[in-house]
Every structure is written in structure tokens, then in C-alpha cells.
Amino acid sequence: MDKIMRQKEVMNPPILERDPSDPRKKKESVNPLLKLVLELGPLMVFFFANARGAWLVQKFPVLAEFGGPIFVATGLFMAATAIALIASWLLLRTLPIMPMVSGVVVFIFGALTLYLQDDVFIKMKPTIVNTLFGGVLLGGLYFGRSLLGYVFDSAFRLDAEGWRKLTFRWGLFFLFLALANEVVWRNFSTDFWVTFKVWGIMPITLLFTFSQMPLILHHSIEDKTEKVEEAGK
């Protein structure tokens, strides 16, 4: 029976990332640059389209159907997100959970933005996504599950305590991002919000990620295994 199930999985690989605790999950080497392009590419398209919306409309008059620059940017953002998800599936044969969830929210709120010609919806999208991620991570901890492993298990392996601590910190960080987005879009111009979304959130996230390296190194399973092997020599 197990052999048949494995054969089925080879023929029909799982669409979503496998549970990190699943022993059948293999360590996959994903090109970091490719992953970065797939995840950040749509965001860069959004920033460029908003900044050069008038120029894009001149070059491609059909884009005028969307409306002003923010609406052109929203339409192209949705298209770029769809392309990135399709490319992820074609190249990696999997859909990363966070980009997929974010993509669903992009499509819903982007469609509302374009249909109602109200940019409030696309501005609320980061708040909704980050609150969702933060709530899910912290909620998972409440029920004894460190769900962050679904996202980062392909990058590194941690012990149970490490995943719990990292999940808690990322849960709080996502809630912080949601709050920051609310403060910015409600108190500043659309152009400032777009700039903050691309050039503010990204550096903040990178700094937070790097700040977690001591915890990651301390709870790394691979590091502990190497230390045990060295001690046994």
C-alpha cells in the first residue's frame, strides 16, 4: 500500500508544501535567487507601475481602462502575482503557502479595488494578509503546532523548541507589519504608501530575519548533529 501511495505521489506531486514533520518530505534545494524573484517580482511590478503609471498608459493605451496609476499598478500586480504562482508550480512543482495565500488576497482585494475604483481595498491587503499570518502562527502555537516550519523548513532544520520560539516571534512580527501598514496608508499619500510597501517593509523584514540567526543557529538540528559527531571522534 505504501509503495502504491509513493508511486501516486511521484505521478501527482502535492500542490502545497508538505508538512515539515512528515518524514516523506525530502530536503529540496531551491535556488535562492529564483525564489526571491518569484516572491518579490510582483511587488516590484506594483511599485514600477504606480510610479510610471502615466508613462505606461501612453505606451499601452489599453491600460487606461484600469483608471489612475494606482489602479494600473493593481491590475499589473494581480497579473504578475498569477504569473509568479504559475512559474513557481512549473519550475518548483510546488506552491509556497505564504505566497499562495497572499496571492488569493491580492486577487480578491485587487478585484474589489478595480471594480469599485477604490484603492482602499488594495491598501488594506497587507493588513489582512499579515494579520492572517500572525493569527495563524500564534493560533497554531496555542494548539501545539509550530506552523512556521511549513515556510522555512526547506531553508533550515530546527528542533521543536526552536520552531516554537521562531514561530512566536514571527507571529508577533506579522502583527507589527499589519499595524505599520494601517498607520501608513491611513496617514500618508498613496505614493508614500507604495514606496513604504516596497522599500520600507522589505528592509525591515530582512533586518528582523537576520536578527533571528542566533536563535536559528542555537536550535539547528544539523549543527547539534555535527557537534555530537565531533565529540564522538
C-alpha cell read off for 148: 512556521
The count of other CB atoms within 10 Å of the CB of residue 161 is 12
Grid cell digits, residue 65: 481602462
Say what the pTM is.
0.74
Q: What is the dihedral of CA 34, 35, 36, 38, to 10 degrees?
A: 90
The C-alpha cell at 89 is 508550480
C-alpha–C-alpha distance, residues 58 and 61, integer Å: 6
AA identity, residue 110? G
CA 69, CA 51: separation in Å to the nearest integer? Answer: 7
Per-residue pLDDT 10s for the chain (233 aa) are: 444 444 544 455 554 454 444 444 444 555 667 777 888 889 889 999 998 888 898 889 999 989 889 999 999 999 999 999 999 888 877 777 778 888 899 999 999 999 999 999 999 999 999 999 999 999 989 888 877 876 665 567 888 888 899 999 999 999 999 999 999 999 999 999 999 998 999 899 999 999 999 998 888 886 554 454 454 55
| pLDDT digit string, tens, across residues 82-140 | 999 999 888 877 777 778 888 899 999 999 999 999 999 999 999 999 999 999 999 98
Which residues, including other chains, have CB under 8 Å from residue 145's CB and lie 6 or more apart?
A: none
Task: Reduce the DSSP state of residue 95 to 3 states and report it.
Answer: strand
pLDDT of 208 reads: 95
Residues in the chain: 233
- All three cell numbers of 197, joined, read 510597501
Residue type for 152, please? F
158 secondary structure, DSSP code: B
Spell out the residues 6+ positions from residue 211 whose beta carbon is closer than 8 angstroms to its own.
none
